[in-house]
Amino acid sequence: MSELAVDVAERDDVVIITASGVLDLGSAAGLRAALDAAVAHDRPRVVVALDAVTFVDSTGLALLVTGDRCARDGGGWMRIAGPGAQLRRMLDITNLDRRLAVYDDVAAAVQGSGQ
Amino acid sequence: MEQEPDLAEELRWDAAVVDLIRRTQLAQPDELVAELNAAVRPLGIAVTVYLVDHEQEQLWPLPERGKPTPPALSIDGSLAGRCFTGVRTYASRDDIEPYRLWVPMVDGSERLGIAEVVAQRPPADAESFRRRCETLMGLLGHLVAVKSPYGDSLHRVRRTRPMSPAAELMLHLLPPLTFSCHRMVISAVLEPCYDVGGDAYDYAVDDQIARFMVFDAMGRGLKAGLTCTAALAATRAARRDGRDLSAMARAADAALQEQFADLRFVTGVLAELDLDTGVLRYLNAGHPPPILLRQGKAVRALRGGRRLPLGIEDDGFEVGAEVLEPGDRLLLYTDGITEAYDRSGERFGLDRLTDLATQGMNALLPAPETLRRLAHTVLEHQGGRPSDDATLMIVEWSADAAERTQP
């Protein structure tokens, strides 16, 4: 059974969700709950830090797309920080790097620079 | 010296074919072989029919009432297996009694199994006898395909394990594994065949246009299966409504968004090849790019036509285009092939895939045989325990390749 640890912090009105482990069908529930809560209000500003996530499957990817969509619908944004090589490859193949905002690290994601 | 055609013999065979057609009109699927043998008895032959299992490893006899059922035959390492894999007829040695032929049984070009034809005495004209047996087994292949939906017995023979609900659902939505016409071959394989859910393929050849697609739905099991069937059904309905590739993709977007409350996406390649001009048009909805094979080598990945996965609407893309040369082949796959890991964590990878595909083609294997071997190699790589669905499709724009899928 895959495991994903999820930690939520807030910095300058930005919710920073940090996940570590494997994000897949079996482990997505914690991140889904954290994302749902983060985008549940007006103009959400959310960074999902994934540098400690070693593997993301298609269910995990759908979770990120859903989070992005909800954030946009609420007039805010969701940004991904520090994706690993596997997630980058997946974002490239699926073309979802065109839809999702991806940054090298949390600082860049919070600022929204150097995408 | 050329032999005189034996008209009386020709007429006897014609009569047997007509008799077989008449007898099977009201036959149940499980009665097919008995009717066949009743029809060919006047010819002095007896036939045992074997169907291939879904994993394409063994050939299983169709039971016939009142006769002992012979054991299954392994495809690898047997003459019967060579008959199946090469789609070629093999005769026993002339000096062995009784005279015996192994004849491929295809439904058009779909390999369904083989038939063992035993003759009471060696035929006077072995060449004519072989051709007649091949024609007869071609008809039987059609009859097996036609009768299959009306009972479970022909399905049961092909299964060595129960199908998962997702695989059962998908199996009846997919077209046959292989279709050849005069100018091309389309062939596909799907693994794990008893447990597949989220992968699918589709094709249709009309006028001079061959349309073909592969799909890979997110997730696993029946949930992924339902997602994938929604995308497949939507694109097929749009295609049959005469809509183009982009509209087919939009139909899938709409179906996935309407049917499911949560986000479901399906990656895939939708393509159409003009068999007159070689112009290939394609779109790639977040899927690994198709590989172009030319003159026995992988020349490049087709990286155009990129849009977001089906289920996430995308208006900002252009359909990709490529002009194929006669004899070109396309290899389409899902990441369950390339992302198959062995025990030590090594990926199967794209290089291994293209190497094996080109090897098979350069050895002039029938396309479905190249795919059968590739699928087995991928399964072996994973120690027989696949972690994801895996699909492969080969499209060969070649009359010679089409010929190789026929006896």
Q: How far apart are CA B400 and CA B407, in angstroms?
A: 13
Q: In chain B, where does the domain assigned CATH 3.60.40.10 lie?
A: 163-403
Q: What's the topology of domain B163-403? A: Phosphatase 2c; domain 1 (3.60.40)
Tens of pLDDT along B259-316? 999 999 999 999 999 999 999 999 999 999 999 999 999 999 999 999 999 999 998 8
| Residue numbers in A near B265 (CB within 8 A) | 58, 62, 65
Q: Label residue B5 by pLDDT band (50, 70, 90).
A: low
Q: How far apart are CA B185 and CA B367, in angstroms?
A: 7
| Residue numbers in A near B219 (CB within 8 A) | 25, 58-59
Residue A30 half-sphere exposure toward CB, CA atoms < 13 A? 18
SS3 B174: coil
Degrees, nearest 5: CA angle A45-A56-B292:
115
CB contact under 8 A, A93 and B312: no
CB contact under 8 A, A95 and B262: no
- Chain B, nearest residue to A89 by Cα: B288
User: Which architecture does CATH list for A4-108?
Assistant: 2-Layer Sandwich (3.30)
Q: Label residue B243 by pLDDT band (50, 70, 90).
A: very high
Tens of pLDDT along B169-190? 999 999 999 999 999 999 999 9
| Residue numbers in A near B312 (CB within 8 A) | 65, 96, 99
Mean pLDDT computed over every residue of chain A: 93
Instruction: Tell whether the model's pLDDT for residue A36 goes beyond 90.
Output: yes
Q: How far apart are CA B51 and CA B310, in angstroms?
A: 36
- Chain B, nearest residue to A32 by Cα: B262
Instruction: Tell whether the model's pLDDT for residue B1 goes beyond 60.
Output: no
Q: Label residue B233 by pLDDT band (50, 70, 90).
A: very high
Per the CB < 8 A criterion, the answer to whether B60 and B53 are in contact is yes
CB contact under 8 A, A99 and B308: yes
Instruction: Tell whether the model's pLDDT for residue B254 goes beyond 70.
Output: yes
For B317-331, what is the mean pLDDT?
Answer: 96
CB contact under 8 A, A58 and B288: no
Tens of pLDDT along B44-84? 999 999 999 999 999 999 999 999 999 999 999 999 999 99
In B1-115, alpha helices (H): 7-24, 32-40, 79-86
- When computed from its CA atoms, the radius of gyration of chain A, rounded to whole angstroms, is 13
Tens of pLDDT along B355-406? 999 999 899 999 999 999 999 999 999 987 887 899 999 999 999 999 999 9
Query: Domain B7-156 classified CATH 3.30.450.40?
Result: yes
Domain ranges for chain A, please list them.
4-108
Nearest CB to B218; choose among A58, A69, A99: A58
Dihedral (Cα; B304, B306, B310, B311), 10-degree rounding:
-170
Per the CB < 8 A criterion, the answer to whether B193 and B54 are in contact is yes
CB contact under 8 A, B218 and A62: yes
Predicted local distance difference test score (pLDDT) of residue B171: 92
CB contact under 8 A, A25 and B220: yes
Which residues, other chains included, contact B242 with Cβ-Cβ below 8 Å and sequence gap of 6+? none
Predicted local distance difference test score (pLDDT) of residue B2: 52
Q: In chain B, where does the domain assigned CATH 3.30.450.40 lie?
A: 7-156
Show the tokens assigned to B80.
């019967």
Nearest CB to B219; choose among A25, A98, A99: A25
Per the CB < 8 A criterion, the answer to whether A109 and A103 are in contact is yes
